[in-house]
Amino acid sequence: MKLFDVYSIYDFTPIRGKDMYVYDADGIEYLDLYGGHAVISIGHSHPHYINRIQSQVQQLGFYSNAVQKPIQQELANALGTLSSCEDYQLFLCNSGAEANENALKLASFHTQKSHVIAFENGFHGRTSAAVAVTDNLEIQAPINQQHQCTIIALGAIDEVEKELQKGITSAVIIEFIQGVGGLDESTLEFYKALAILCKQYNTLLIADEVQSGYGRTGEFFAFQYYGIIPDIITIAKGMGNGFPIGGVLIHPDIKAFKGMLGTTFGGNHLACAAGIAVLEVMKKEKLLLNANEIGAYIKTVANEISFIKEVKGKGLMIGLVFGKEIKVSSLRAELLYEHKICTGNAKNPSILRILPPLTITKKQVDYFFKKLEVAYVKQREL
């Protein structure tokens, strides 16, 4: 059987990982500044993470959501404490798209409305409603386009209000720092006004923290930079350090009823063990602090490099903006094949994305910029 050919892939086969590095079959070491797309939060194959998962699978890997599972409450408690969102309720699922799909459905149940507002260049996943609120027609099939969604420019508060005045909007979904789109953020004024308008028009505010959450920006959640209280927060990527797990944090004002949401695999024992291990390591190794410190260091160094036009993002969710003289896709390939460094791209083709594990050190940052300079000079000459 052939694999369904939907991914553009590099000629590179990592088979092993350790903290900030992955290794191919020849033992060649690659510095991972991509974290498998912002997924690796505590570093590859962290010993505590391995132990937690191993001992859980020896005991019980899975049972359905029809039985008592104290490990889910253990995860919810640890997440509530570390994120300062103790009051929220947690629904567990398996991916970012699924988290957003459930969030949109929940908002529609709660408000009994069906329209959604989303923003230009946003990305929320590929399931039916999640892709319908994603600003990319190329990845929407006709079936997805049946959802009712208005896409508005990020920051256009008057447009948002005009739409909300129609009284049909169940939810506004937003990435407080856009990931795939290219690290754009709006202003404190816009975010504050958005939260107020949502309350005023009985519309739920969904913070998509699938990429920006779990300490990636230096705060546990990106919205915490703005003092906002979202109605719903969605999480995934960094949550399981690679183990598939996602979640929806739900404000206490939103009440559950039996059968409102559900999943077979969501919140299984193994995924919860992985999720708890991640939070334990984040706390013990003070990874939020590290994301802040190293993120600031990356910005300082990058701002001194003349060929980097702009540095976008927060913490370890960084976009380096290049000028038209260089093709970022070629630069990434050069970094990977010649210098053994993994980096990321964005919808904006002039951006190189840096999304490393939160364990990164200054020494590794210095190594990257040294190699980036060499790769840049070579690519300019071609």
Ligand X SMILES: Cc1ncc(COP(=O)(O)O)c(C=O)c1O
Helix (H) or strand (E) holding 158: helix 157-164
Q: Which stretch binds ligand X (CB under 6 A): 69-77, 174-182, 213-221, 259-267?
A: 174-182
Closest to ligand X by CB, 175 vs 219, is: 175
Contacts of 357 (CB under 8 A, 6+ apart): 19, 20, 32, 35, 40, 41, 42, 43, 44
**Smallest distance from ligand X to CB 211, Å:** 4
Closer residue to ligand X in complex, CB, 43/179 = 179
Residue nearest to ligand X (CB): 96
Residue 19 is classified by DSSP as B
If the CB atoms of residues 99 and 372 are measured against ligand X, the closer one turns out to be 99
Q: Which of residues 58-97 bind ligand X (CB under 6 A)?
A: 95-97
Q: In the window 233-262, what residues touch ligand X (CB under 6 A)? A: 236
Site string for ligand X, 122-161 (x = CB under 6 A): -xxx------------------------------------
Report how far residue 91's alpha carbon sits from residue 351's, in angstroms, rounded to the nearest whole number. Answer: 34
Of 83 and 364, the one with the shorter C-beta distance to ligand X is 83
- Least Å distance, CB 131 to ligand X, is 9
- Contact positions with ligand X (CB under 6 A) in 196-235: 208, 210-211
DSSP state of 112: S
Rounded to 5, what percent of the chain is helix, strand, coil? 40, 15, 45
Secondary structure (DSSP) of 226-290? TT---SEEEE-GGGTTTS--EEEEE-TTSPP-TTSS--SSTT-HHHHHHHHHHHHHHHHTTHHHH
Residue with Cβ nearer ligand X (135 or 208): 208
One of 17, 35, 43, 179 touching ligand X (CB under 6 A)? 179
Return the amino acid letter for 25: A
Q: 104-123: which residues touch ligand X (CB under 6 A)? A: 123
Q: Is the CB of 102 or the CB of 292 nearer to ligand X?
A: 102
Q: In angstroms, what is the minimal distance from the CB of 238 to ligand X?
A: 11
Per the document, the length of the chain is 382
To ligand X, the closest distance from the beta carbon of 177 in angstroms equals: 9
Please enumerate in sequence order all residues whose Cβ is within 8 A of that of 45, keeping only pairs 6 or more positions apart, or say none: 16, 17, 18, 19
Contact criterion met (CB below 8 Å) for 42 and 359: yes
177 versus 372: smaller Cβ distance to ligand X? 177
114 vs 149: CA distance, rounded Å? 9
Q: What is the closest distance, in whole angstroms, from the C-beta atom of residue 240 to ligand X in the complex?
A: 10
DSSP 3: P
Rg (CA), the chain: 21
Between 97 and 308, CB nearer to ligand X: 97
Binding of ligand X by 266 (CB under 6 A): no
Q: Which residues bind ligand X (CB under 6 A)?
A: 95-97, 100, 123-125, 175, 179-180, 208, 210-211, 236
